[in-house]
Amino acid sequence: MSSPPETNDSTDLSVESYRESVGIETEDDPTHGVLARDLRAACEGAVRFDEYSQILYATDGSIYQARPAGVVFPTDAEDVRAVLETAADHGVPILPRGAGSSLAGQSVGPGCVVLDFTRHMDSVLDVDPEAKRATVQPGVVQDDLDSHLDQWGLKFAPDPASSNRATIGGGIGNNSTGAHSVRYGITDAYVEEVEAVLADGTPIHAREIEIGGPEWEAIMAEDGREADLYRTVRGLVEDNADEIEEKYPELKRSVSGYNLHKCVYGTGNVNANDSANATGNENANKYVNLAKLFVGAEGTLGVVTEATLSLVSEPDETALALYCFSDLLSAMEAVPVALDYDPSAVELMDDEVFRLARESTEYAKYAEPIPDDAAAALMLEFDSEVHDDLADAIAETNAEFVHAGSAFDVLEAYDDQSQADLWKLRKAAIPLLMSMEGDPKPYPFIEDASVPPEELAEYVQGFEGILSAHDTTAAYFAHAGSGTLHVRPVLNLKEESGVEKMQSIAEDVTSLVLDHRGSFSGEHGDGLARTQFNPKMYGPDLWDAFKELKTAFDPDWRMNPGKVVFRDEDPTDMTENLRYGPAYSSLEPRTEQDFSAEGGFSHLVELCNGCGTCRQTDTEVMCPSYRAMDEEVATTRGRANMLRAAISGELPPDEMHSDRFQKEVLDLCLGCKGCQSDCPTGVDLAKLKAEVKHRYHQREGAGLRERLFSAVDRLARVGSALAPVSNWLADLPGVGLLAEKTVGVARERDPPEFADQSFSAWFEARGGPRIPRSDAEDRVLVVPDTYTNYVYPETGRSAVQVLESAGVHVRVPDADPSGRPAYSEGFLDTARDRAESNVELLAPRVREGWSAVYPEPSDAVMVQDEYRDLLPDSAGADLLAESAYGVCEYLDTHHAGTIDFDAPDQRLAYHGHCNQQALGTAGHAVGVLSRAGYEVSALDSGCCGMAGSFGYHAEHYDLSQSIADILRDQIDEADADEVVAPGASCRSQLETRHPTHPVEKLAEALSRR
C-alpha cells in the first residue's frame, strides 16, 4: 500500500477570502435564500448562491446553458450527505460536477444545487501497486492521478482528450474513454467499487457481491433500502434478459442509457466490457455490482464520493504511424484492416482539422508535417506490451497501407516529443473546430455515435447524404478503431432554422446509427443532447426498466433530472436550454482596439466553448490565477462566461463596469496572454480585459495606484536621477506600510533599486556605437524599457556587447516607453499615444534596414502584437512589428552561428516570459544559450505571478506568491546552477533565486574568449 500524496487545497485563496480583502459584498439569489441559509448551517464547505456563481456554473463544454440555484463545495462525504438531506427537505434537484468539460450538457441543469468536487475532494486516497488498484475522491484530475501512479509504472486506462482537467468523478458519471479504447475499453471496466450517497442522504458501498453469498444474505436480512436496490436491479436484469441481449450494441463503446448489461454477470471480477457475460450462464455463480450502474449514470442515481479503480501497466515504449489518404472514405475503409495489426489506438483526422490547426498560433507547428493534400489521416499507435519490435510493427502496416494500399504517405514517430506533437494535434480537434469564424459552428449533438468499425465507410457515406440533404457540412475525426467518429455538422443555432435543422439531423442520424447496429453515444454520454433518443435506441421495455431503476435509486427524481431518463410528462428536448438559441443576442460595443481579426469584441467573447482547457495545471501558460486559486471565476472560461452574460443582457447593462465585476472577474486576470495561445479557440482575455478596463476608467475614473503604474517610466526616471538618495528613502522604516495604506502597494514588496546611471546615459557616455556602420552587415536599435534603462542597465549593456560581438552596428534611440504599463492598466489612449510616437520615430529607421531589438520581452510583444490592435490602419505599425524582436529572438533568427562563444560549464534553468510564450517566441533564448555552450533546462512554466504591476497590488500579493511558488518548485526540481529569465518582473519575483537575463549569460560566455 502507498501513502496518499499531499494535496494542494488553496482554501486561503478562496473567492470568499478575496472578496473580503477587497470589500466585495454579495447577496444570495432571493429565490433560494432559505435553501442557501440551511445549506450553510448543514455543511462545512462554501455555499454560493449569488448571481455570479450561478452564471459561472450555468454552462459546460456543451451547447447548453441553464442557471443552477447555486453551488456547494463539499469538504467530505459527510458534507455531501448533509447537502443531499437539506436539498431533499427543500425538494430541489442535485447535480454532481467535475471540471465541467462535458459535451452533451450533463453537467448543467436549471435550478440544481451543483456539487463541485474539484476544490476539496480531489485526493488520491490510496494506491496498492501489487494489486494494481487505487482509491480516489471524485475531484481528482486524471492526469494528476496518472502522474502520481507513474512511480509504479501504472495508469488509469481510459484517457479522454480532456484528461489534463477532467476529473475521475466526471469520467465515472460519463463512462468516459479515449483514444486507447481499442486496447483498454472504457471506464466501467475499471471501476470496482464506489462509495456513494443517494438522494435522501443514504450512504451506499457498491461493490461486487455474489448473489446468494454471505454478503448478499446479510443485506437481504436487513431488508432495508440497500436490499430493495439489489432486488430491483436483479429483477430488472433477469426480466429483461432477452431485450438486453438484443438492444445493447456489441461495441467497445456504448455509453447511452444505464449499464443493465454490465451490472449482473456470471463470473466474479469479469471484464465488464464483455456484454456476453451480463447474465452469465446457469452453471456459473452470479454476481451483482451496483458500482457498474453508477458508471455512466451522469449523477442521476446518486453522488459518488469515493471510487476504487483497477489500473493497468504503462507500456515502456510506444510508436506512432500517421497514414495520409487522398480521400476520407479510403481512410475509413482502412480501419478494419488496421485492427488486424493489434494497434493500441486508431485515430482519424480530416483536412478540416488540419486547416484549422495550420491557422492556429498554438497548433500550427503540430500540423506542419502533414502533407497539404492529405484529405484524411489515420494515426496508429503500437506499444511494447503487445509488440516486441515497434519498427517492425510499423513496417508491416507500411507495407499494407502505403506500398500495397491507398495511403500515399506515412509519418513515423518513435521519440516522445514527436509522438506528443501528433497527439497534441489530435486532441485539439474539438476546440479547434469551435474556433471557426462567424456564428455557424460545428456543434456537438450527435457527434460521437459509434458503429462497428467494419461499417464505418458505409456509415460515413450515409452521414454525408444526411448532411447534403440538410445543406451543411461537417468535420470528421476521433476514435475510428472503436467505430466512434466525432462528426459535427456546421449550424447556426442563433437562428430558428438552425435549431430545426439540428433536430432533423439528429433524427436522421440516430436512425442511420440503428441501421448499422450502433450506439447514439460512444463517448460523450446522453446529457441534454441525446437523452430524448434513448427510447428510440432501447425500445419501450428497456425504457420502462430504466425508469424503474431511476425510481428505485431516486424516488423523487431529483438527481440531475432530465439526463439518461425522463418522465413521460416532462420529456427532455435537445432544443431547449441552448446557450446560443434564436432568442440570444449580444451588444457589440465601440472599442478602442481593432477586433476585426476576431470578428468583433462579442465574437471573441463567444469563442469560448467551455472546453475548460484553462483549468489545466500541469503544462503550458494558461491559466495562472486558476492554478493558484482552484476557482472557476479565475479561469479564462469563467471570465468569458461573465463577459458574455454582460454583453447578452443576462446581467444588467452596467454590471460590467461595476466595482465587483472589475475586482472579482477582471482584476484576477494577470494579462499574461497565455490564453491567446493555449486556448484552442484563441480567447484573448488580456485584450478583452484591457478594453473593458479602459471603458471603466472613462466612466468611473481611475485610482491613484493605476495612474502611477501606468506612468512608471516617469517615476523611474526621477528615481534614477536622484539615486542613491531615492533608494535610501525607499528603505526607511514604515515606507512600505505607508505605501500600502495610501496607494495599495503590498508592504511586503521591496521597491526597485534605481541605478544612478541609466542605460541610455551609459551608451551615450561610451561614445555610441563601437562597430562602424560601414563595417556592419546589420543595424539594430536597442530600445530600452523602463527596467532596463533605470533599474537593470547591465541587461542593456550585455545586449549591446553581444550584438556588437556579432558585428552589428548598434544605436540606442531616444524612444518613448512602449506603452505596456499603460495598456496593462487599461489606459488605451495613453498606450496608443506611446505607440504612435514610437512608430513615428522607429518605422522610418526600419524602412532604412534597421531592426528594433527589445531586452524586455513584454515590450517586444507589445510592439509585435498590441501595436497592430491600437493602430490598425498604420502601415508603419505593421512594418515595425515585423522588424521588432526580443534580443534573444533576434540573435537566434539572424546570428545563429556568427558569434564565437565559450560558455562556462553551467546548467541553466530557463523560465520563458509568458508574453513571448503566447507568441511562440520564448524558445529562441534556449537555442542561443545552448549554442553558446550552456546546458539549458527549459522549464514548462507559466506566468511568474508578478505580471508587471499585478504582484505589487496588496490584495493580489498572496495570489502572486502562490503562482510564483509553482515556478519556484519547478526551478528547484531542475537542480540547475543558475536561473535565467528575460522578464524584469520575473527576475524581481524570483529575487531569492538570483536570476539573470539570458543575454547577460551570453555576455559572460563572450568574456572567456
Q: What is the DSSP string of 920-935?
A: T-TTHHHHHHHHHT-E
The pLDDT value given to residue 268: 60
Q: What are the φ/ψ torsions at residue 194 (nearest 5 degrees)?
A: -140, 145
What is the Cα–Cα distance from 117 to 693, expressed in whole angstroms?
A: 33
- Residue located via cell numbers 456509415: 459
Residue 541 Cα distances to 296, 537, 547, 643, 747, angstroms: 20, 11, 10, 46, 70
Instruction: Please list the ranges in the chain whose pLDDT falls under 70.
Output: 1-12, 268-284, 431, 1007-1009
What is the C-alpha separation between 321 and 315, in angstroms, rounded?
Answer: 17
Strand order in the sheet with 779-782: 809-811, 779-782, 850-854, 884-886
Amino acid 333: pLDDT: 95
Between CA 597 and CA 593 the distance in angstroms is 11
Count other Cβ atoms within 10 Å, centred on residue 234.
16
Three cell numbers, residue 731: 528603505
B/e letters for 518-555, b = 16+ CB within 10 Å, e = fewer, are bbbbbbbbbbbbbbbbbbebbeeebbebbbbbbebbbe
Burial (CB count <10 Å: 0-12, 13-18, 19+), residue 12: exposed
DSSP annotation of 996 reads: B
How far is Cα 404 from Cα 395, in angstroms, rounded to an integer? 12
Distance CA 900, CA 310 (A): 56
The continuous run of DSSP H or E covering 245 comes out as helix 241-247
- Tell me the residue length of the chain: 1009
Three cell numbers at 487? 462528426
- Which residue reads 454579495 in cell numbers? 26
Q: Nearest-CA neighbor of 1002 among 930, 910, 937? A: 930
State phi, psi for 352 to the nearest 5 degrees: -70, -40
Q: Is 359 exposed, middle or buried (0-12, 13-18, 19+ CB in 10 A)?
A: middle
Contact 10, 630 (CB under 8 A): yes
Strand intervals (E) in 225-298: 264-265, 287-289
The three three-digit cell numbers of residue 486, written as one number: 466525432
User: CB neighbours of 234 closer than 8 A, spacing ≥ 6?
Assistant: 211, 264, 288
pTM comes to: 0.94
Instruction: Give the distance between the most distant pair of CA atoms in the chain.
Output: 100
Phi, psi of 248, deg, nearest 5: -75, 125
Q: How do strand 191-197 and strand 203-206 relate by DSSP bridges?
A: antiparallel
pLDDT of residue 361: 72
Q: Are 127 and 148 in contact (CB under 8 A)?
A: yes
Q: Report the phi/psi class of residue 360: left, alpha or beta, with left for phi > 0 and alpha for psi in -120 to 50.
A: beta
Sign of CA dihedral 550, 554, 556, 559: negative
pLDDT at 432: 75
CA atoms within 13 A on the CB side of 901: 26
Residue with cell 431547449: 576
Give the β-pairing of 907-910 and 935-938.
parallel
DSSP H or E segment with residue 11? none
Q: Is 655 helix (H, G, I), strand (E, B) or coil?
A: helix
